[in-house]
Amino acid sequence: MSTPARRRLLRDLKRISSDPPTGIIANPDANDLLVWHAVIFGPEDTPWEGGTFKLRLQFLEEYPNRPPVVKFVTKLFHPNIYSDGAICLDILANQWSPIYDVSAILASIQSLLTDPNPNSPANVEAAKLYVENRREYDRKVAEVIEQLWKLEEAEKREDGDSDEDDEEDDEEDAEAAEDEEEPKEDADAAPRKKQKISETEAKHSNAPQQTQPAAETAASAAAASAAASSSPAAAQ
């Protein structure tokens, strides 16, 4: 179903695909154009450098007249980000304007990472550290980045182990299949062997053999010859 919001989002997609902001990736969900998934990479030469931060954007049918609901999926330590990932940013609230598109929204959030507003805190601890102890604040941010790295490495290892397990399972299945085929071949060979034996026996049974009447005839002929030799006519 084509609606003004969906048509506008298609234009946003075309723009961000052809001219993406530096360090930002965004695409709509495969099953719902109103849901977008984005990734913001931490800007270089900042405490956020090296970080990969995932976001979810939920648009309404009233877009662009109303802003989307944007949340970080990645857990962050930041003055303007709530514990549930919600973002305290004026353009997503009272300063929203229909001229903002997906690229502008994500670029503003990326800028917020390195230029927070501690006067409107969503995380009081982070805002206080940012104002009073910037070094400790930067250390906390670095801890978050390090934890993200470790999590990503663990996920990669799990994916690698899963692939190895799948390969081992495939090999075991192949070996089991071979073992099942061999007895089948033996089972097939047994009837064939039995059939050959039956055929050989049939050939022997059909071969010409000397019958008992023929033997008796030969014995009678021999006896008659002997009798003729011993008769008086033969003696004369």
Residues known to be catalytic: 88
CB count, 10 Å around CB of 48?
22
How does DSSP assign 119-174, residue by residue? TS-SSHHHHHHHHH-HHHHHHHHHHHHHHHHHHHHHHHHHHHHHHHHHHHHHHHHH
Distance (Å) of CA 112 to CA 45, 102, 115, 136: 15, 15, 5, 19
Is 96 in contact with 66 (CB distance < 8 Å)?
yes
DSSP summary character for residue 19: S
Q: Is 39 helix (H, G, I), strand (E, B) or coil?
A: strand
Q: Is 27 helix (H, G, I), strand (E, B) or coil?
A: strand
The sign of the CA dihedral 18, 21, 23, 27 is negative
| Residue 132: both structure tokens together | 């009073």
The sign of the CA dihedral 159, 163, 168, 172 is positive
Residue for token pair 């009798």: 227
